[in-house]
Structure 1
Amino acid sequence: MDDAPIRDQPLLTWTNVALAFSFVAFDAVLSSVYRLGISSSLISAAFRCTIQLTVMALVLESIFKTKNPYGVAGLALLLTLLGTLEIVANKCKRRHKYIFFSTFIAMFCAIVPVSVIGTRFGMSVVPFWTPESFIPVVGMLSGNSISAIVVSIDYVLKEFVENRDKIEVYLAFGASRLEACRPIAKQALRIALTPMISQMSVIGMISIPGAMTGSILGGASVQQAARLQMVLMFMISSVVVLSSIVATGFALMIVVDQEHRIRMDRIDSSKFIVWRYREQLFRKLGEVGSRVVDWIRDPLGKRGQIRLDGEQE
């Protein structure tokens, strides 16, 4: 039975995508009816998903054809950079100084060794940089590490903003920054890693994960698909733990300096600088637009009416 030929996969068109999008549209309508306030977020996220996957498909198709190791390395680096930017710009409610560089280092130092070793020895792919295997693995590791890093950093910065007095008491009684921040780090990592641990504990029994589903749909045997999913889950858990620990450590070292002082000036609770400039740009465009509209309407407005009245007299 294992030697049965792989069945042909159905050809999906944009019509299939539009039909699937109707599910999201239905959820957006329900959100509007019940005034949940997430309809615009659902629609914008769906459009982002469509655009990003379309662009990624075009990029991957060219890299799969060329099989250039430098192209594979460049795309892996790009995925890590985009993951870092997503954390800093969109996900984190609060940011600390040097958050972009520290987050990139945390993701890079976790993703690169785990993806290389896991692809070569865990998945037995030779060479390890084979685009069809390596790039999806890097994307999967990057995507799963984002949520854990965001949760850990947000918790750490929230504790410094809301419970600064407790930490200052520890420091005042002679505790080092490591001793004063250890409870915060432990709790932040517990909260950040709980979803990953819960997912790994129920996988296979309650849910069939994406990689296993994709392998089965691609024609692989169920046993091979299950083993592949095991390898990927262990790689994901390793990257999530490593990246969260490094990102949390950087956050604590930056907010509490070498002199064991809490540096609240290094915490930024405002919107990301790009979005602030975007709001200023939209505000200026709105002002210019309103002036243009007033200028167009003016001949029919008060001054035009005054001129007409003067001419009649």
Structure 2
Amino acid sequence: MIGSSPTLTWLNVLIGFLFILFDSLLSLILGLGIGGSLIVAAARCILQLSIMGLILDKVFASNNIWGVFGIAVLLNFLGAFEATYNKSKRRFNNMFPLILASMLSATVPISILGTRFAMAQNPFWQPDQYVPVLGMILGNAISAIGIALNSVHKEFSENKDKIETYLAFGASRFEACKPVGKEALKLALLPTVNQMSVIGLISIPGMMTGAIVGGKSVEQAAKLQMISASSALSVLLALCFSLTTLVDSRCRIRPDRLDSRKPIFYRYRDAAGEKIWKGIKSLKFWGRKERGSEEERRGLLENHRD
């Protein structure tokens, strides 16, 4: 029986944060330009995990199926938001609801089947078992969807001649989009394939690590891996939605349905930040008195030149 793990405090979090600060300092010295992103990502991670911990504590304590259902919907909603607005450089029309539908259609059934039959949990919605599995599946699905859609959108934005050629020679929408979809799916699943090839030999996956820390035997923890099927299914659905949006039913490429701008709320955020920064810079000039009108300054310059 594995002993209980020690209780972590905010001091432990601070010690871990020091490594992020070191990476940021290294980025500043080498001019990598990612130091600020590292700090923001780390702060965001701490905030998100703190909030999630408070919510999950209540869900685990209630042991209620509706609480688990609500968490599942919330996690899928946040995952779709992340995949749409943060992982994708370009967005197609109605991308958020379509990505949400693809993630719900893939992650929820597979997580239910996995916990009920692969993990032999009865009932399947046992919070301390089902929620971590769903979170693991969603994490892999978000990364895979982001890679696949970025590949597709790049093809339609920068290299759509090949697709137009297929369509011009009478290819159907499916035939014209098939090479693009296959390449995007291959790229999306490549990290999963690479990860699975070293699992158990070099690396210990997160779900297995969590199970071991939680007190399960190593043999039991090794049986908790079920990530590739969910990633493939969610990516396939997302690709279908993307390709059928960018090539309509009349076999026309629709670049007008692809938006390369930042999401509108990020544009508002940047505009507000720019105004605040201008206001801060203008504070340097407060209290200074004008020493003359514009005409007087021009006259002084002309006299100086003479």
Would you say same fold, with TM above 0.5?
yes
- 2:46 matched to which residue of 1? 50
What does residue range 191-202 of structure 1 map to in structure 2 within 5 Å? 191-202=187-198
* Match 1:301 to one of 274, 285, 289: 289
CA distance in 2, matches of 1:138, 1:51: 20
* Match 2:262 to one of 256, 271, 283: 271
CA distance in 1, matches of 2:223, 2:162: 47
- 1:208 matched to which residue of 2? 204
CA distance in 2, matches of 1:8, 1:178: 55
- 2:129 matched to which residue of 1? 133
- 1:309 matched to which residue of 2? none
- How far 1:221 moved relative to its partner? 1.7
- 1:156 matched to which residue of 2? 152
- How far 1:96 moved relative to its partner? 0.8
What does residue range 24-39 of structure 1 map to in structure 2 within 5 Å? 24-39=20-35
CA distance in 1, matches of 2:284, 2:22: 36
Larger helix percent: 1
Any conservation in 1 of the 2:115–2:130 contact (CA below 8 Å)? yes
What does residue range 282-297 of structure 1 map to in structure 2 within 5 Å? 282-288=273-279, 294=285, 296-297=286-287
CA RMSD of aligned residues (A): 1.7
1:10 aligns with 2:11: no
Identity, in percent, stands at 49
| SS of aligned partner of 1:302 | coil
CA distance in 1, matches of 2:217, 2:61: 26
- 1:88 matched to which residue of 2? 84
- How far 1:147 moved relative to its partner? 1.0
TM-score normalised by structure 2 residue count:
0.91
The CA deviation string for residues 147-176 of structure 1, in whole angstroms up to 9 with x for no partner, is 110111111111111222211111111111
- 1:61 matched to which residue of 2? 57
The CA deviation string for residues 38-70 of structure 1, in whole angstroms up to 9 with x for no partner, is 111111111111111111110011111111211
User: How many residues of Structure 1 are paired with residues of Structure 2 in the alignment?
Assistant: 293
1:20 aligns with 2:8: no
CA distance in 2, matches of 1:189, 1:159: 13
- How far 1:279 moved relative to its partner? 1.6
Letter in 2 for 1:185: G
The CA deviation string for residues 251-299 of structure 1, in whole angstroms up to 9 with x for no partner, is 10000000000001001111111111112222333455566665x42xx
- 1:252 matched to which residue of 2? 243
Distance 1:42 1:290, change over 3 A: closer
| SS of aligned partner of 1:91 | coil
Give the unaligned 5+ runs of structure 1: 306-313
CA distance in 2, matches of 1:290, 1:240: 48
The CA deviation string for residues 85-124 of structure 1, in whole angstroms up to 9 with x for no partner, is 1111111111111111111111110011001111111111
Letter in 2 for 1:134: Y
- How far 1:217 moved relative to its partner? 2.3
- How far 1:225 moved relative to its partner? 1.6
- 2:138 matched to which residue of 1? 142
TM-score normalised by structure 1 residue count:
0.89
1:238 aligns with 2:233: no
CA distance in 1, matches of 2:242, 2:231: 16
CA distance in 2, matches of 1:37, 1:291: 27
- 1:311 matched to which residue of 2? none
| SS of aligned partner of 2:227 | helix
1:115 aligns with 2:115: no
